[in-house]
Structure 1
Amino acid sequence: MDTAHLDGATASREVEGEEAEAEGKEWWEDPRMPWKGKPGRADLWCWGAISLIGIYGLVTLPLRPILLSLNPYALAAVNGSSIAMVDIGADVKLGDEPYWWIGMLLASLSVIKFDWIFWWAGRLWGHGIIEVIAGRSRWAARTAHHAERLAHRFGAPALFLVWFIPFIPSAIVYAFLGNARMKLRTFLLIDFLGALCNRAVYVYLGYRIGEPAKDVVNLISKYSWYISIALIVGIFVSSALRARKQAAA
């Protein structure tokens, strides 16, 4: 699961908490928080973990082009990158990658490393965490509705299917299954199998494309520092604009 998109929702909740305090309420009494009543230790740990996911995504985002230029296996280990999988697959086609399967396993484990947190959130707060994710925007609400329908209709298989359906927020499915009391080991097993098959598709794609895919990756690597700087600037500009918009509201 990609993590960068979560920072906006987390920042928004923090601002809302500050507004609640200004009105004489405790921050946790804000009705837009996922819990009902005063949060316990587990609630605070889980909410903190979700916040850290967003921070991790922001910190690692500008590092991705650099890691790709250094070693696709490093990028695969950090965030399970699809581009790293394509690069490794292209190397297999060119006869230079005997350990491709290690990269695929690393990427599969990395890309699911935070998924259990949303399973936990669903177990703790039920539909409350789904409302938090869906409340970020109209687009988020629309896609969240589709994700919840998918999970409600298919149950456990939805955890596998969500890896292959674009624009569906997988965190909604994870939270739904947590709320449905799916066992954690079952969740992790199905999630890993879905991630493994998904990463395998990208490796195969790189293998089929071959040298042209390698040329594109090499071009990204060549300008990796410039891309990273542009991403850092974009993060700061986006954060500043969001803060100004929230202050005006």
Structure 2
Amino acid sequence: MTGTQPQEAADAAQDAGGDPADEAAQPGRPLPSGDVGGQPPAAMENPAEDESAQEWWDDPSLPWKHKPTKADIACMGWLSVVAIYGLVMLPLRPGLLASAPHVLASLGSWSGSVTVGSRAAVGDPWWPLVWFFGTIGLVKFDWVYWWAGRLWGRNLIEVWSGRSERARRMNAWTERLARRYETVAIALTYLPLPIPSGVVYLVLGEAGTSLKKFITVTLVSSLIAGGVYLGIGYWIGEPAVVAMDTYGRYLWYVSLALLVFVIWNAWRQARQGTEPAGRA
């Protein structure tokens, strides 16, 4: 009697719904754990997970190594403002030097300060006001690089260096200079020397130089440098004024040529970025 009970149970299950092995495949019934449809669980993973693993901010061309905060975004925005300002001033500088040297010097241009100094030698009375505004103009964006150093450390230097070995060596030398001399390194950035000032300020921000000390040193250095440039122009005197009056009208053509170059270069880079890749 007991030997026939398993067989009777199997027959009853088959009469009720078919083969018990097929119950897992019927609609409305939960699938057993393990293999699904003959495939291992790994084969059913969402492929979008691999694509989303690379977040937009996890890019070696960006200075942060984490999800950016509001401070990161704000600092990057200010760095963009500095870059745009530099591009705008590039074609305008020669023309302003000829027609509005007081404006150019007030924005922090040492060539504009020399020109104003030469005009002061022949009676121009505006040099004290230009000296004041020029002192502020020279340091107007320095704090942005200090802030970037405080936020990201050397990461931005690595981004700037890119794949250029020459830039990497120059930035490394500047970094050693800033870490060793600090105040002297800041003062050197206000001289017409091939020192990347942004690297100096960034390193000092990362090294822990206080903002109060940084701003104080930059303002004093700017004040002294502006006075030196004005003094050089005053020493040259009238010959510089005559030379600028003679050749100044041609500097606007230089500005136009630079403007055309900037537009052409931007167009060329945009076109290269949108060209489809060649066939393999």
CA contact under 8 A between 2:179 and 2:207: conserved in structure 1? no
| Gap regions ≥5 residues in structure 1 | 1-22
Counterpart CA distance in 2 for 1:63 and 1:171 is: 22
The one of 104, 116, 133 equivalent to 2:131 is: 104
State the one-letter code of the partner of 2:101: P
Match of 2:63 in 1: 34
Q: CA deviation at 1:47?
A: 0.7
| Gap regions ≥5 residues in structure 2 | 1-50
State the one-letter code of the partner of 2:73: L
The one of 155, 170, 178 equivalent to 1:151 is: 178
Match of 1:185 in 2: 212
Q: CA deviation at 1:247?
A: 6.3
The one of 66, 76, 88 equivalent to 2:105 is: 76
CA contact under 8 A between 2:105 and 2:116: conserved in structure 1? no
Match of 2:115 in 1: 87
CA contact under 8 A between 1:80 and 1:110: conserved in structure 2? yes
Match of 2:142 in 1: 115
Structure showing greater relative contact order (alpha-carbon pairs closer than 8 Å, 6 or more residues apart): 1
The one of 256, 262, 265 equivalent to 1:238 is: 265
Which structure has more helix as a fraction of its residues? 1
Secondary structure at the residue paired with 1:234?
helix
Q: CA deviation at 1:85?
A: 0.8
The one of 85, 110, 119 equivalent to 1:56 is: 85
Counterpart CA distance in 2 for 1:187 and 1:220 is: 39
CA contact under 8 A between 2:186 and 2:218: conserved in structure 1? yes
With normalisation by structure 2, the TM-score equals 0.73
Look at both structures and tell me which one has the larger radius of gyration over its CA atoms. 2
Match of 1:20 in 2: none
Counterpart CA distance in 1 for 2:271 and 2:249 is: 35
CA contact under 8 A between 1:65 and 1:220: conserved in structure 2? no
Q: CA deviation at 1:234?
A: 1.1
Counterpart CA distance in 2 for 1:26 and 1:227 is: 44
Task: Quickly say closer, same or farther: Cα 1:182–1:215, change in 2 above 3 A.
Answer: same
Match of 1:9 in 2: none
Larger mean CA deviation between 203-212 and 118-127 belongs to 203-212
The one of 191, 210, 229 equivalent to 2:256 is: 229
CA contact under 8 A between 2:114 and 2:231: conserved in structure 1? yes
Task: Quickly say closer, same or farther: Cα 1:198–1:73, change in 2 above 3 A.
Answer: same
Q: CA deviation at 1:103?
A: 0.9
Counterpart CA distance in 1 for 2:235 and 2:272 is: 46
Task: Quickly say closer, same or farther: Cα 1:221–1:180, change in 2 above 3 A.
Answer: same
Larger mean CA deviation between 228-237 and 134-143 belongs to 134-143
Cα distance per residue 1:17-42 (max 9 Å; x no partner): xxxxxx76333111232111111110
Task: Quickly say closer, same or farther: Cα 1:125–1:190, change in 2 above 3 A.
Answer: same
When the two chains are superposed, the root-mean-square deviation of aligned CA atoms in Å is 2.3
Counterpart CA distance in 1 for 2:232 and 2:151 is: 39
Task: Quickly say closer, same or farther: Cα 1:243–1:139, change in 2 above 3 A.
Answer: farther
Cα distance per residue 1:97-126 (max 9 Å; x no partner): 233122122112112101100000000001
Cα distance per residue 1:177-234 (max 9 Å; x no partner): 1111211121111011112222222212212222222133224431243222111101
State the one-letter code of the partner of 1:211: E
Task: Quickly say closer, same or farther: Cα 1:226–1:44, change in 2 above 3 A.
Answer: same
Q: CA deviation at 1:243?
A: 4.1
State the one-letter code of the partner of 2:151: L
Task: Quickly say closer, same or farther: Cα 1:163–1:75, change in 2 above 3 A.
Answer: closer
Counterpart CA distance in 2 for 1:30 and 1:42 is: 18
Task: Quickly say closer, same or farther: Cα 1:89–1:136, change in 2 above 3 A.
Answer: farther
- Aligned identity (percent) is 42
The one of 183, 187, 201 equivalent to 1:174 is: 201
Match of 1:7 in 2: none
Task: Quickly say closer, same or farther: Cα 1:165–1:180, change in 2 above 3 A.
Answer: farther
